[in-house]
Amino acid sequence: MKFRTAKLLRAKRNARKRIQTTEKAVQALIIILVLAALLLVGCSYRMVPNETKIEYGTTETDAKNSKLQEKKFITQTWKWH
């Protein structure tokens, strides 16, 4: 009887430790997610387009191909406002 009680107490203590460890991990995960969300919202909130360039044209023919090659580019830079 004595040993059985000790085993039950040890099992309860181990279960309590597991629950506390799980709760701490969940709290840490929530804090990390909240910080990441705040950083992402803060970054996108103050950014505005600075300059947009559009390049469109044809290049010269290659020696291999007799076709003209078209090039199309859109470049956009951002700045903090």
In this structure, the answer to whether residues 26 and 65 fall within a common structural domain is no
Euclidean distance between CA atoms 61 and 68, whole angstroms: 5
The total domain count for the chain is: 2
In this structure, the answer to whether residues 7 and 37 fall within a common structural domain is yes
In this structure, the answer to whether residues 2 and 14 fall within a common structural domain is yes
* pLDDT tens for each residue of 1-34: 566 788 888 888 888 888 888 999 999 999 999 9
pLDDT of 46 strictly over 80: no
Task: Give this prediction's pTM.
Answer: 0.42
8 Å CB contact between 76 and 52: yes
In this structure, the answer to whether residues 28 and 64 fall within a common structural domain is no
Beta partners for 49?
78
In this structure, the answer to whether residues 1 and 38 fall within a common structural domain is yes
8 Å CB contact between 61 and 68: yes
8 Å CB contact between 48 and 79: yes
Euclidean distance between CA atoms 2 and 6, whole angstroms: 7
In this structure, the answer to whether residues 40 and 53 fall within a common structural domain is no
